[in-house]
Every structure is written in structure tokens, then in C-alpha cells.
Structure 1
Amino acid sequence: MVPLTTGRRRAYALLLLAPVLAASGCGAPPDAPTGAGPTALVSPTAGSSPTAGLSPTAGVSPTAVATTGATSAAPDRPDQPAAPRAGLPHVFPVRAEKVSYHPTHSAYPGTDIFADCGEPVVAVTDGTIGEVSRRDRYRKSGPQGPYNGGLSVSVIGDDGVRYYGSHLTEIAEGVDAGVWVRAGQRLGTVGRTGNANNVCHLHFGISPPCLGEDGWWIRRGVVWPAPYLDSWRKGGNREPAAEVAEWHRKHGCPRKPPTR
């Protein structure tokens, strides 16, 4: 991992879908198919794709990072909105041969990607690390929501989209809030921390970059990831920026989830 430069700024099972997962707030119906081998947001503007490679060569200016316990978050910078870029490479978030996921999820948009514990979790696209949690603070007797993800990490893509993965076994060294990463760079490994019901999987969510502890319900996912995962797994490059920007235009970054 190479430290960020100061001259630039960028935006940031195998059908194991048992009914108990649906009750956890991180699950899906039990009939999941098995897959084949693998801020105000603005509309993305055209940009050239970065050169290939996994070692970061550019980044954003270092800034102070707010830290709560073992959880850190890159500061929200509404006064300096980034300009999202189109045409960036996107890759499937789990690098494993044996993997499956379902197009739907219980209660809210998101996807549980089932793979063996220890399989690599990688950055979906070029971007800056947002929230990072290296400590599993979830307790069944505690608050349900903010800590459900256990060990987790988000990437604020240079396309203006936040990509969130949780229930990890570990977070890779050097993956800290504010660090710039490339598509395909290893972030950690699949696990079962937090409210994962002891099932190895990666909870994957796509959302606008509404950083902050109170935004957990947005971070977990607000648009359905499956159409994009389907594309990336086949080597395509379907981009969620427009759909995420539209959601953000309608809803903003509300601090509390909607009441049912």
C-alpha cells in the first residue's frame, strides 16, 4: 500500500440462504441460485480509465480521520464534492471459484455473497477507503443495526458510489480510512463476524457516500447489487453510478431509517 500523495483529490452457498438469515437483517430467501464461475452526487462525467495494476499510484490529500473505538471513517466533505468519473473498471468483490449469491435480500436492497471463510475480498473499483471496522462490536443484546456488519470496510469509488462489504474475518494491513486503492486490490477476507449467523459470506451493499455512524442503514445498501454483480462476474462493466445518483437526489442522506 502506497501512502496518498498531497497533490490530488478523488471521490471517494453455495445457497447457504437458510431462513434464519432472513431474520438477521442480512439474509435472503432459501431458494438462491448458484452462480457460475465468477457529497452530493452528480451524474458521472466522462473520464479516462486509470492504467492497469493493483498498486495505488495516486490518491487524495491526507485529512484528519474520525475514530470511534476500532471503527474509523473518512470525514464527510459536503463543502468539496468530488467529480465522479465514468468508465472506471469494476470487478466482482469476492475472488473465489466457489461462490453464489441471490438477486434479492431480506428487508432492504443488498446481496449476501456466499463463499468459504478466508477467500479474498477485493475493491470493486478505484477509490478511497471510507468506513473501516476492525473490531466486532455486535452483540445480540446490543443495538441492532449499527454493528451488524462486524468487521467491515467501504470504498468510496472514484465513480461516486460507496461499495460496502461486511462480516469479514480480517481487514488487510494498510486498509485505512482515506487510503486510495485500485480495482481488484485485496481489502480483507470473507468471514462470519457480526450478525452473520455463523455462516461464511460477504454482505455487499451499494449506496451513495453518506459517511458517518448514523448512516448505517444507508451503508448496508439502497440499490439492488445483483444486476451489477452479474455483469462484473462475466467480465462486464455495468456501472451503478446513475442509479445511485438518482436515489441520492430523491432521498439525500437521512440520519434515520424510514419507519415501517
Structure 2
Amino acid sequence: MPNQYLDVLRADLHPATRHHRATKLQCHVGNLVSAAAVVTGIGLLALSTACTSNPPAGDVARTPTTSATTTPPVTSTATRSRPQPSPSLPSASLPSAKTVYVFPIAGCKASASQSHHDYPASDIFAPVGCEFVSPVDGRVDEVTTVDRWNPKTNIGRDRGGLAVSVVGVDGVRYYGSHLSAITTGIKPGLQVRAGQRLGLTGNTGSARVTPPHLHFGISWPTPANHWWIRRGTVPPQPFLTAWRNGRQLSPAPTVLKTKRTYGPDTTCRSYC
């Protein structure tokens, strides 16, 4: 037998050559199976590591070429990851909970005055014994439980008779006076909710000489006994009208603006 045929026969019988050729055949078959799996939607899970094995010495590794018209693999819905949630919006972009306001007299027909003498406030006329309720969520500020008003002296700090003030969650103070009674348990620091009863309408203080009514004032919070601020600094009429009609109108911006223009708070300025 010629020597060149013997060399070919020896190469074919060499174990490394036989292993390499068998590996190539397995890879070829594996690629066909993978392509069929992609088409049927099963998806290709992994490639055999044998397809990336180095060829034996003497063989040349060839880089497979990809046609420009090759169809991209189809992803199976069974293995598709769930969509990730969108990043949270900044807290400033989220809508904040609205403050709830209610008309301060419940269970009775009441009529609020559209003006007030000497300083901003409203006299809400109603029969004795109607519920005076907190117009907003907040905490009880000051409570006056003794009627010290004397018509002969008419001292400003005593005109309100029995009274309760509440500092709302909106930072505004709400004051009601001339009460006939204060609800049991109402005391400074108590947390209250909008519509919670604080007392009953009446005619204590200077209301002894007028029809019974609730004196209602809006102001900014102050240290205790600054009654000339507590009695009212902002006209409450537009807010009372809104709350009676179910509209949520906050006096906070108006109160803040008024406080800035009021200047230093040292003592009573009018009708003292």
C-alpha cells in the first residue's frame, strides 16, 4: 500500500481525531435541534460545552458566520420575566391628603353674620344648646370654664364667657365663645376630630345682652392669654360659607399673610 494512504489511515485511526470528528457531529446535530426548538417556542436553554472545545492539534478552528437576514430568536412567554414596577414618584409629586373642614354648628339652624364690630369675626346666631363642633382635626388649645364678664367693666379678656379654641392640623386656630356648656373631657392638649362636639351654644359673657350666638374667630396660634389675637384676626365669612356648602376652603394662606402684615404682637390694639 502506498505510504500516503497509510498516513491517511493512521490519522483516521488516531483517538484524538476520532473524538474531534464525533464532537463536531454532535454539535451539528445539537444546532439543528436548537433551531427547531426556537421555531416551536420551546427556547434554547443551554449550548453543549463540547461545541466550544479546542480542536486537536493540526485542525483549524473556524468561526461560524451569521447571515445578515438571520431571524432573531423568539422569546417564549413561559420564560419571560415579569415587568418591573416603575420607580416611585418623589413625595412632593404625590397628592397629599386634604384637610376636612365642617361648619362649626351642628344639628341646628344657624345664621352667620357677614360683618363684625371692631375686629374680624362672625357671630353665628343659633338657639341655646346647639352643638359647637371642631371645624377641623386638631388639638384643643385653651378652655375657659368660668364666666367672669362684668357689664360694668366690660374687660376684653372676659367678654367671651365660656370658650374653647382649637389649633387645627392646618396650623390655624379656631375659637368659639359665649357657650352655655363645655363638653366633658375637653381640655388643653386633647386631640379632636372635625365635627367632634366641643360644647353647646349659649349666651355667656357679653352675649347676655344679645340674642344667643357663637362668636367664631380665626387666627394664628399664640402663647396663652393673647385673647386679642385669639378672638379673631381674619374675616371667617368666606370660609364659613364654603364649609356650609361642603367646599373645602382653607384659611391657612390668608392667616399666614395676615400674620406677616400684622407686625409685632405686644398688646391689644382695639376694643380692649
Q: Deviation at 1:158? A: 0.8
Contact kept, 8 Å, 1:130 with 1:211, in 2: the verdict is: no
1:199 equivalent to 2:232? Answer no
Distance 1:133 1:199 in 2: 21
User: Which residue of the other structure, out of 191, 194, 202, is the alignment partner of 1:180?
Assistant: 191
State the Cα RMSD in Å: 1.7
Q: Deviation at 1:248? A: 1.4
Question: Which structure carries more relative contact order (alpha carbon 8 Å, separation 6+)?
Answer: 1
Tell me the SS of whatever aligns to 2:105.
Answer: coil
- 1:209 maps to which residue? 221
The one-letter amino acid paired with 1:246 is: K
Q: How does 1:108-127 map to 2 (within 5 A)?
A: 108-127=119-138
Tell me the SS of whatever aligns to 1:168.
Answer: strand
Tell me the SS of whatever aligns to 1:170.
Answer: strand
1:167 equivalent to 2:178? Answer yes
1:142 equivalent to 2:150? Answer no
Q: Deviation at 1:48? A: 4.1
Tell me the SS of whatever aligns to 1:136.
Answer: coil
Bigger radius of gyration, 1 or 2?
A: 2
Distance 2:163 2:243 in 1: 21
1:77-107 Cα deviation digits (max 9, x unpaired): xxxxxxxxxx210000001342111211111
Structure 1 residues 121 and 253 mapped into 2: Cα distance closer, same or farther (>3 Å)?
Answer: farther
Q: How does 1:85-96 map to 2 (within 5 A)?
A: 87-96=98-107
Which stretches in structure 1 are left out of the alignment for 5+ residues? 1-45, 50-86
Q: Deviation at 1:241? A: 0.2
Q: Deviation at 1:252? A: 5.0
Tell me the SS of whatever aligns to 1:195.
Answer: helix
Contact kept, 8 Å, 1:131 with 1:211, in 2: the verdict is: no
Tell me the SS of whatever aligns to 1:89.
Answer: coil
Percent of pairs with identical residues: 45
Contact kept, 8 Å, 2:108 with 2:130, in 1: the verdict is: no
1:151 equivalent to 2:162? Answer yes
- 1:99 maps to which residue? 110
Distance 2:189 2:219 in 1: 18
Which stretches in structure 2 are left out of the alignment for 5+ residues? 1-93
Tell me the SS of whatever aligns to 1:108.
Answer: coil
- 1:53 maps to which residue? none
1:154-198 Cα deviation digits (max 9, x unpaired): 000010000000000001011100111000000000000001124
- 1:9 maps to which residue? none
- TM (normalized to structure 2)? 0.62
Tell me the SS of whatever aligns to 2:258.
Answer: helix
- 1:230 maps to which residue? 241
Contact kept, 8 Å, 2:126 with 2:213, in 1: the verdict is: yes
Aligned length: 177
Distance 2:257 2:219 in 1: 11
Structure 1 residues 125 and 252 mapped into 2: Cα distance closer, same or farther (>3 Å)?
Answer: farther
1:7-45 Cα deviation digits (max 9, x unpaired): xxxxxxxxxxxxxxxxxxxxxxxxxxxxxxxxxxxxxxx
